[in-house]
């Protein structure tokens, strides 16, 4: 783990960064950003010294006692991160937060190829193929794609390859340096023709392999990866208010019909989700994953599971991103911090609407849009099928249209990660 104080951690950082809906905008938010970075650097020097002392002490211990290392410390140096989420929950955005990091080899939804090839099966049957593909990719063994792609293939045959900064920079693509922030568009123009073997070659040069998947519905499927001594797996579980998810799914109905069929096991028949049967499955899976990880979790899950709510992320990106980076042993660089500031404030070059584009502008507004746009009748139905998930993940139900539309009524309950429990209102 990197030292705690390197990164802004506590919730009191919140007032330094972004305003919240229904609250007064802090005019100085932008102006204060640089001062936070200065503070960060000062403390990082102190921490570096402390770290050096600590390292020396540990080496001393090691020399004298030999095998004091715990089993988890024997895990391989490469860190494997799996972001599990569901459709339209902000996972592309979270994926980008990792993808743009210069230490990270990132692929978005590699198991798309599994589902695409075997679409007549159920999600449950495909779990194992998906898991084995994920395991191979973590180990940078890309031969696993032989089953799902033509033999003569190039890098651009990978699903959403151009959102992966690692596939757009050296050594995968010679046009960009790996410390650059890449854009999907320029990458598509310049990097598509490279041979597929560059994927594997690039992967092997990174300390972190990060994958994002919406295709796991049960945490227990991942147990063999957690206990695999050749993997050092960290799981980030990204959730979002199911009512907002439904609103967002309505904008992409067509694109989701094949996956819906797989979730509902329809033998290859495409279906829309007008009855919220898919939503019900998604909500059920979030409960299963969260409860499995937090109520009497097995020992091997210790320090390997982190739940993130999309709403917390858009309200206080830096605090949540810092928590995710800390959890996965990544350092937040000044350049990344600037970029994050840009994308969460609607600045910078990437404002075009692209197919799976991260929606960054007015992210807080976007996360609340369902309250304006989703008819109360639908809200009630979603609350019916997702009641358990709403409760467990800390989202308040609404009893009336009035309550739904009144943005001064807070529906996202504060969550204190450290204590792993919900705090009541007014506590902060
Ligand atoms: C590789 O990608 C380019 C550009 O996307 C495409 O035109 C070409 O046919 C691909 N080559 C192979 C062997 O698939
Ligand atoms: C699934 O669909 C295929 C054709 O698309 C059909 O041959 C097969 O019998 C179906 N299986 C079931 C269990 O309905
Ligand atoms: C952030 O946005 C500013 C203004 O558009 C731009 O000059 C700068 O290069 C951007 N920084 C990053 C890291 O994207
Ligand atoms: C956010 O939403 C509120 C209310 O819906 C609106 O008044 C405000 O202009 C929006 N802000 C931005 C930056 O779009």
Domain-located, residue 28: no
Percent of the chain predicted with pLDDT > 70: 75
What is Dmax (Cα atoms) for the chain?
Answer: 68
What pLDDT does 369 receive? 87
Domain-located, residue 29: no
Pocket of ligand 2 contains residue 267 by CB under 6 Å:
yes
How remote is the CA of residue 267 from the centroid of ligand 2, in Å?
6
Q: Enter the pTM of the model.
A: 0.80
Please report which ligand is nearest the Cα atom of 119: 2
What residues of the chain score a pLDDT lower than 70? 1-74, 346-363, 416-428
Burial class (CB in 10 A: 0-12, 13-18, 19+), 151: exposed
How remote is the CA of residue 342 from the centroid of ligand 3, in Å?
6
Domain-located, residue 88: yes
Domain-located, residue 23: no
Strand partners, 40: none
317 lies in which domain range? 79-140+204-413
How remote is the CA of residue 258 from the centroid of ligand 4, in Å?
34
Count of domains for the chain: 1
**Residue ranges of E strands in 119-242:** 208-213, 233-239
Whole-number Å distance between alpha carbons of 247 and 385: 15
Domain-located, residue 422: no
What pLDDT does 77 receive? 83
What pLDDT does 65 receive? 45
pLDDT digits (tens, 9 = 90+) for 227-270: 999 999 999 999 999 999 999 999 899 999 999 999 999 999 99
What pLDDT does 323 receive? 95
Domain-located, residue 66: no
Domain-located, residue 394: yes
What pLDDT does 322 receive? 95
- 364 CA: nearest ligand 4 atom: 1
What pLDDT does 45 receive? 60
Asked if 274 and 125 touch (Cβ cutoff 8 Å), the reply is no
How remote is the CA of residue 366 from the centroid of ligand 4, in Å?
9
CATH number of the domain encompassing residue 136: 3.40.50.300
Whole-number Å distance between alpha carbons of 125 and 107: 23
**Nearest alpha carbon, ligand 4 atom 12:** 362
**Nearest alpha carbon, ligand 2 atom 11:** 267
What pLDDT does 68 receive? 44
Burial 62-99, CB ≥16 within 10 A → b, else e? eeeeeeeeeeeeebeebbbbbbbbbbbbbbbbbbbbbb
What pLDDT does 84 receive? 98
């Amino acid at each position: 783990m990197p030292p705690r104080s390197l990164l802004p951690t506590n919730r009191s950082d919140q007032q330094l960064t972004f305003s919240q809906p229904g609250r007064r905008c802090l005019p100085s938010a932008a102006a204060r950003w640089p001062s936070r970075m200065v503070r960060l650097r000062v403390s990082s020097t102190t921490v570096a010294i402390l770290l050096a002392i600590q390292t020396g002490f540990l080496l001393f211990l090691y020399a004298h006692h030999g095998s004091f290392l715990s089993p988890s410390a024997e895990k391989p140096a490469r860190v494997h991160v799996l972001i599990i989420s569901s459709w339209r929950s902000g996972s592309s955005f979270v994926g980008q937060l990792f993808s743009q990091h210069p230490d990270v080899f990132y692929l978005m939804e590699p198991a798309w190829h599994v589902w695409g090839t075997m679409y007549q099966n159920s999600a449950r049957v495909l779990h194992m193929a998906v898991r084995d593909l994920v395991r191979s990719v973590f180990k940078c063994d890309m031969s696993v794609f032989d089953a799902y792609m033509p033999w003569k293939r190039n890098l651009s045959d990978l699903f959403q390859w151009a959102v992966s900064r690692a596939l757009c920079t050296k050594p995968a693509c010679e046009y960009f340096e790996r410390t650059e922030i890449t854009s999907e568009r320029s990458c598509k123009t310049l990097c598509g023709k490279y041979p597929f073997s560059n994927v594997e070659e690039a992967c092997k040069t990174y300390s972190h392999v990060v994958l994002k998947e919406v295709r796991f519905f049960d945490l227990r499927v991942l147990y063999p990866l957690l206990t695999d001594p050749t993997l050092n797996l960290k799981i980030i579980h990204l959730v979002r208010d199911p009512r907002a998810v439904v609103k967002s799914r309505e904008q992409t109905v067509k694109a989701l019909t094949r996956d819906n069929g797989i979730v509902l096991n329809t033998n290859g028949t495409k279906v829309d989700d007008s009855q919220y049967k898919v939503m019900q499955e998604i909500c059920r899976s979030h409960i299963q994953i969260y409860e499995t990880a937090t109520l009497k979790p097995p020992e091997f899950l210790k320090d390997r599971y982190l739940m993130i709510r999309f709403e917390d992320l858009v309200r206080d990106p830096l605090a949540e991103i810092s928590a995710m980076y800390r959890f996965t042993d990544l350092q937040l660089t000044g350049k990344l911090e600037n970029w994050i500031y840009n994308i969460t404030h609607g600045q910078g070059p990437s404002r075009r609407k692209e197919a799976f584009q991260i929606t960054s502008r007015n992210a807080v507004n976007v996360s609340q849009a369902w309250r304006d746009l989703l008819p109360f009748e639908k809200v009630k139905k979603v609350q019916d099928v997702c009641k358990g998930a709403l409760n467990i993940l800390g989202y308040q139900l609404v009893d009336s249209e009035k309550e739904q539309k009144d943005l001064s009524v807070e529906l996202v309950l504060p969550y204190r990660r450290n204590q792993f429990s919900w705090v009541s209102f007014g506590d902060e």
